[in-house]
């Protein structure tokens, strides 16, 4: 079975002015697409060809001989999750169930946002900031490069891509501005709530 590039769940212009159509076109139509195409080349004729993205990530994580396969599978998974973590019209805060868990584990939505924002800015190299559910509790997690909660433990609820190509055209080097826009204007809380165990 060949992997395919999933379509964006909204129009390329839908996230403006926080994320431009040009950024989405390059990020989804070039970066994400290349990971999917390279993944298909790497799995062709191997047992991985019959696995899901998450299964490939689980089986190749930490294996030096499988690093290229892991990078492309994980980045295909990460990007699909990230694009679903964005919405032009989702509520600007979590629903009742997720909201209660955020209050329990972070103190308040504002305290969660502060922790997430700080973690996303502290991720020195290219990578990701995540809201995850692990061992029954919510946590903020950052990962470098292609790593994700599948390979590090926990179930992802929300993802923010902090590689520069995710925000540079719109925010230049102001990652803090982009992460604020993500938390306050773009985060898809409906999607996050659906990921809860």
Residue 89 lies in a domain: no
Question: Is 120 part of any domain?
Answer: yes
Take residue 181 and report the two structure tokens written for it. Answer: 């826009």
Whether residues 42 and 76 share a domain: the answer is: yes
80 and 116 fall within a common domain: no
Do 111 and 183 have their domain in common?
A: yes
pLDDT attached to residue 1: 64
Angle at which helix 53-60 crosses helix 67-84, to 10 degrees, equals: 140
Query: Which of 84, 112, 139 lies at the terminal end of a domain, its last residue?
Result: 84
C-alpha 1/C-alpha 133 separation (Å) is 30
CATH number at residue 149: 3.55.40.20
- Compute the mean pLDDT over every residue in the chain, rounded to the nearest whole number: 96
Query: Do 106 and 86 form a contact (C-beta atoms < 8 A)?
Result: no
Q: Are 65 and 140 found together in one domain? A: no
pLDDT along the chain (197 residues), means of 10: 94 97 98 98 96 97 97 98 96 96 98 98 96 96 96 93 96 96 98 96
At residue 197, the pLDDT reads: 86
What is the pTM (predicted TM-score) of this model? 0.97
For residue range 1-38, list pLDDT tens digits in order. Answer: 699 999 999 999 999 999 999 999 999 999 999 999 99
For residue 150, tell me if it sits in a domain.
yes
Domain that holds residue 172: 96-194
Distance CA 14, CA 113 (A): 23
- Entry field: residues in the chain: 197
CA 144/CA 153 separation, integer angstroms? 14
Contact call for residues 9 and 84 (beta carbons, < 8 A): yes
In this structure, is residue 91 part of a structural domain? Answer: no
Q: Are residues 108 and 184 in the same domain?
A: yes
* CATH at 72: 1.10.287.990
Domain end call among 64, 84, 104: 84
Q: Measure the CA–CA gap between 100 and 84, rounded to whole angstroms.
A: 22
Burial code (b: 16+ CB inside 10 Å, e: under 16) for 35-51 equals: bbbbbbebbeeeebeeb
- H-only helix segments in 93-174: 96-106, 109-122, 149-152, 168-171
Based on the fold, state whether residues 104 and 184 are members of the same structural domain: yes
Helical (H) or strand (E) element with 132: strand 127-134
| Domain shared by 44 and 104, yes or no | no
Domain count within the chain: 2
């Amino acid at each position: 079975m060949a992997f395919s590039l999933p379509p964006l769940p909204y129009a390329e212009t839908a996230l403006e002015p926080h994320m431009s159509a040009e950024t989405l076109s390059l990020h989804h139509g070039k970066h994400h697409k290349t990971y999917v195409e390279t993944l298909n080349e790497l799995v062709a004729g191997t047992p991985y060809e019959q696995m899901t993205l998450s299964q490939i990530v689980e089986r190749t994580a930490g294996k030096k001989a499988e690093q290229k396969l892991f990078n492309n599978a994980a980045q295909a998974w990460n990007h699909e999750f990230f694009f679903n973590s964005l919405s032009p019209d989702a509520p600007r805060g979590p629903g009742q169930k997720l909201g209660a868990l955020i209050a329990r584990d972070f103190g308040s939505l504002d305290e969660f946002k502060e922790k997430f924002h700080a973690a996303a800015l502290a991720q020195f190299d290219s990578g990701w900031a995540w809201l995850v559910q692990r061992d029954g509790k919510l946590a903020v997690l950052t990962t470098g490069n292609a790593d994700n909660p599948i390979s590090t433990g926990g179930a992802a609820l929300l993802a923010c891509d902090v590689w520069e190509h995710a925000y540079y055209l719109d925010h230049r080097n102001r990652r803090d501005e982009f992460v604020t826009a993500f938390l306050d204007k773009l985060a898809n809380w409906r999607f996050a709530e659906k990921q809860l165990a």
